[in-house]
Structure 1
Amino acid sequence: MFAKCLFLLSTVVAVVFGLTLRPVDHVDHDFDQQVQEPFDETDVPLRGVTPDCDPDECEKRTWNLTLHRYQNRTGNWVDLALTGDDWGRSSADSNMGVKATVFDCKGRKMIRIHATIKDPIFFPHQTEVVVDDRLRFNVIAGENIALGNDGFTAMKKDTLKHDVAFTSRHLKPDEMFQVRIDQILVSKKYANAIGVTTYIPLEGKVPHHMNSIKTGTWMMYNSKIWRNGSTLKRMKISLDKLKVGDLLGVKRTAGGALHFYINGDDLGEVATGIPENVYGVFEFYGDTTQVTIVNPQ
């Protein structure tokens, strides 16, 4: 995507400013990570340009392309592309920004392209890059699911319908997928389902009920553990009894065993031979209308 953006921007710049783009033998790339403040271009020397051709001192024109992705109030993800001539205004809160500066250097037209990418995520007051790979909900979810809280919270749009939300990535060995129950609508007298699956969430192909998946799926509904839509075993505790504030979790161990948790208490090994590449999945089954992922410290 990044390469496509650079190509698109270069093409646009060429059209806007009447330039002819020619292939070159070698290109140096400067990719600067966006931190907390707008990038200071004076910190990076322009390669191959003599001081008397500094673009800050020459007559120049600029063109900016900013890409931003966000979730609106209805829960739908929106991709927004902006163009303009004010670099500082758009780069601070954008996922990606590309700026092209066209200037004259001894009778030649030159292009300087500078890009910032807001990923990996930098945390304030830290000098090292920290990649934020905490579990979130996958943007590909059931049509009745809306996400909020930077992807940590999922909620039902229509409280009377079931639907499914997956984790944003596969679970790591011994990593717990744990949610906190935020809201319950008492009507059906049953609620909650959680588990793991090898099913890959695809746009337009998200099941409304995980028990309809007949391969690579382990779920806990009520007091029963299910495998591929069939009952595997019965537990002594039911998920229907959980209340607002309770925690519900699932973990695949490094040895491939499956464990469920309620408020941090391990319910014991319920299955073995779980494959490595499984997603965590929460099904809004019954009365629960909103949950939030709680990443254990």
Structure 2
Amino acid sequence: MQNLGWRFHTNHGTNIVLSNDGLTAERVGGHDYGIVVADQPMVPDVLYEIRIDKRDPQFMFLRYMPCGVVLTDPDHLRLPGTAYRGWGREAVVISGAVYNRGHTEKNNLNDATLNLWKGTRVGVMVTTKAELHLWVNGSDRGVIATTVPTPCFAFFELRHRYKRVSILLSTHLG
């Protein structure tokens, strides 16, 4: 494993507080506006992975953890309430279904980012073939989207039951 030095960008959702030198993000306040984005473009064949450190016990109903890649540099990103409603053609969002730059592509991922527990690891990786992969607990869930443009930035959305996450060391898998 190597540490590529990525952190969460200082441009993040309004209900996010960063700590641990940008390696930990916690949602405070309401249950939305919890988007965090990598502070640098993704390196091909490198897994960008987080660990769920804390869940919010008041949200016991099932909820997804949206994640994926955004194509806009975080310095210029206008953060919406939720990624899949606000970014449209500027993102590939995994949230039950896959929303690839404004179009629903797959609907067979219903359990991939659903009902994740404390300690669960979630990651995204873009390959040199421009394929987006989702990883859960060290398991590759396969190609989620193809022809993903570069540069792109990993993002994770802390909403409802997901309260705090931490960045793990990056893994080069190519």
The two structures share one fold, judged by TM-score above 0.5: yes
Q: With structure 2 as the length reference, what TM-score do the two structures score?
A: 0.86
Larger radius of gyration: 1
- How is 1:14-93 mapped onto 2 (pairs within 5 angstroms)? none
| Corresponding position of 2:63 | 190
- Is residue 154 from structure 1 mapped to residue 16 from structure 2 by the alignment? no
Does the Cα contact within 8 Å between 1:191 and 1:284 map onto a contact in 2? no
TM-aligned CA deviation for residue 161 of structure 1: 2.4
Q: % of aligned pairs identical?
A: 25
Structure 1: tracts of 5 or more residues without a match: 1-131
- Tell me which amino acid in the other structure corresponds to 1:200: D
TM-aligned CA deviation for residue 213 of structure 1: 0.9
d(CA) in 2 for partners of 1:156, 1:203: 22
TM-aligned CA deviation for residue 226 of structure 1: 1.4
- Is residue 206 from structure 1 mapped to residue 79 from structure 2 by the alignment? yes
d(CA) in 2 for partners of 1:255, 1:139: 30
Q: With structure 1 as the length reference, what TM-score do the two structures score?
A: 0.52
- Is residue 249 from structure 1 mapped to residue 120 from structure 2 by the alignment? no
d(CA) in 2 for partners of 1:134, 1:209: 26
d(CA) in 2 for partners of 1:235, 1:294: 27
| Corresponding position of 1:267 | 141
Structure 2: tracts of 5 or more residues without a match: none
d(CA) in 1 for partners of 2:126, 2:77: 27
- Tell me which amino acid in the other structure corresponds to 2:17: A
TM-aligned CA deviation for residue 282 of structure 1: 0.7
TM-aligned CA deviation for residue 229 of structure 1: 4.0
Task: Name the SS for the 1:150 alignment partner.
Answer: helix
Number of paired residues?
A: 165
Structure 1 vs Structure 2 CA RMSD? 1.9
Write out the 4+ residue segments of structure 1 that deviate beyond 4 Å after TM superposition: none
TM-aligned CA deviation for residue 133 of structure 1: 4.2
Does the Cα contact within 8 Å between 2:4 and 2:170 map onto a contact in 1? no
d(CA) in 1 for partners of 2:55, 2:158: 10
Higher RCO structure, 1 or 2 (CA under 8 Å, sep 6+): 2
- How is 1:114-125 mapped onto 2 (pairs within 5 angstroms)? none
TM-aligned CA deviation for residue 203 of structure 1: 6.8
1:143-195 deviations in whole A, cap 9, x for unaligned? 11110111110111114223211101000111111110011114143141110
- Tell me which amino acid in the other structure corresponds to 2:83: M
The structure where helix makes up a greater share of residues is 1
